Amino acid sequence: MKRVTGPLALSAATLALVAPALGDAQELSRATPVIGTAESDYPRTPVTVGDTRLFFNGDVRLEYDSNVYAQSHDVTSDFKVVIAPAVTAVLDKDRYRLTGWANARAERFFDVTTEDSTAASIGATGEFRLRATDSITALASYERAVESRGDPEARTTPTTGPRLIDISRAEFGYNRTGTRIGFRIRGTGARFDHVSAVDRERDHDSLSLSGRIRYLLSDLSSAFAELFYNRRDFALARDASGVDRDSATTGGRIGIAIDPGGVLRGEAGAGIFRFNPQDPTLSARTGFSAQAALIYQPRARLAFTLDGFHGDAATVRSGAYAREDTRVRLGIQQEARRNLHWQGGLVYRRSAFLGTSVVEKTLGGYGEVEYLVNRRVAVALSGRYADRESSRPGDDFERFRGALELRLQF
């Protein structure tokens, strides 16, 4: 799914594959830079309106796609232009910090104009500091997302464009940081509303609750234990195959978190989950849950990244009562010179549709070279490749995308 996301107050270690909502291995997009960028090497001078700082940036990209529809045969290739403007507003006070954003992503193809799309996002996050150790966080956002042709369960017919999805999200959290013990409680509600009436059976609401206790082991590391609960309620009582897709997933993980300051930072955890479908004809199941986002930076200009996720995912595929996803990304980033950066990586994804024999495996890679012209302009050359194998006939594909991009920031 090609999604436009705002600045969600995440650490640099939280990259694209940390959780299902943050990205898809099919897209193989560039990892979040963890070393020098145009923004860090050339700090921006914001536009100030009262106490609020405004930051503007935008990308313009010319991209070649060797397999627009992600098909196994009779593939169609084309060029497209991508324009992605964005604005961020920041209000920072002693007791609170507010961040708002609005951005868009317009894709226009040269020939297959049925694939033209526009994604957009608007939202705000806030943090209110009750005292030095306690804070309340909140988020509210609306997003028009565009499904990627390479996603699992994506549209396969070339006669219609990609799915459009309206996503509304709200989040509330409470954090306490003690000298030795801390905790975090978070609740998130989201509504996924597909624009086309044909996709009505995919519409659903989700509720996620989580709690984490953190114990400080050293100045830079801590152990944590967390519990989570996810509830999915679909708009239709039963889908086209007569199945009630409502479900609840509960689970827990234990792990290690390493704060910035050393050569290694990020976190990793593992545990179990229990999937409980509401339909009595479907079987409950227990599975393995894991999540990781780690950065190893032996030198100031070199970093290695590892991002992974394994666990339960929503599905509406006929015959499948659940989907289990595994996603792993290994990456490297280097600042060759102060104004020349490059990154590359390998991505693996496996989706198993439980209740059927269908298993999809995707292996791919990405690479990018970025040249910082000055504090406002950067030029990048990138490439992405994906090869998916599926046990279901017709779902295999190979896809290469190469792009030349102009990046602006003000």
Please give, one letter per residue, the 3-state secondary structure of 126-185: EEEECCCCEEEEEEEEEEEEECCCCCCCCCCCCCCCCCEEEEEEEEEEEEEECCCEEEEE
Give pLDDT tens digits for 212-260. Answer: 999 999 989 999 999 999 999 999 998 888 889 999 999 999 999 998 8
- pLDDT at residue 33 greater than cutoff 90: no
Q: How far apart are CA 305 and CA 382, in angstroms?
A: 18
Mean local confidence (pLDDT), 27-46:
65
Give pLDDT tens digits for 49-60. Answer: 999 999 999 999
Residue 46 pLDDT: 87
- Cβ pair 308, 270 in contact under 8 A: no
Domain ranges (residues) in the chain: 20-409
Q: How does DSSP classify residue 260?
A: B
CATH 1.10.357 is the classification of domain 20-409: no
- pLDDT at residue 315 greater than cutoff 70: yes
Count of C-beta atoms within a 10 Å radius of residue 237? 9
Residue 319 pLDDT: 78
Residue 22 pLDDT: 29
Share of the chain above pLDDT 90, in %: 74
- Cβ pair 305, 294 in contact under 8 A: yes
Name 380's Cβ contacts closer than 8 Å, sequence gap at least 6: 368, 369, 370, 371, 403, 404, 405, 407
Mean local confidence (pLDDT), 95-109:
98
Share of the chain above pLDDT 70, in %: 90
Give pLDDT tens digits for 364-404. Answer: 999 999 999 988 999 999 999 999 999 999 899 999 999 99
Q: Using a CB cutoff of 8 Å and minimum separation of 24, what contacts does 259-263 make?
A: 259/220, 259/221, 259/222, 260/11, 260/12, 261/219, 261/220, 262/220, 263/296, 263/297, 263/298
Residue 134 pLDDT: 97
Can you give the pTM of this predicted structure?
A: 0.88
Residue with tokens 């939202």: 123
Least confident of 14-28, 64-78, 263-277, 326-340: 14-28
Which structure tokens are listed for 316?
């509406």
Q: How does DSSP classify residue 313?
A: E
Give pLDDT tens digits for 255-314. Answer: 999 988 789 999 999 999 999 999 998 889 999 999 999 999 999 899 999 999 999 888
Q: What is the mean pLDDT of the chain?
A: 89
Q: How far apart are CA 270 and CA 289, in angstroms?
A: 6
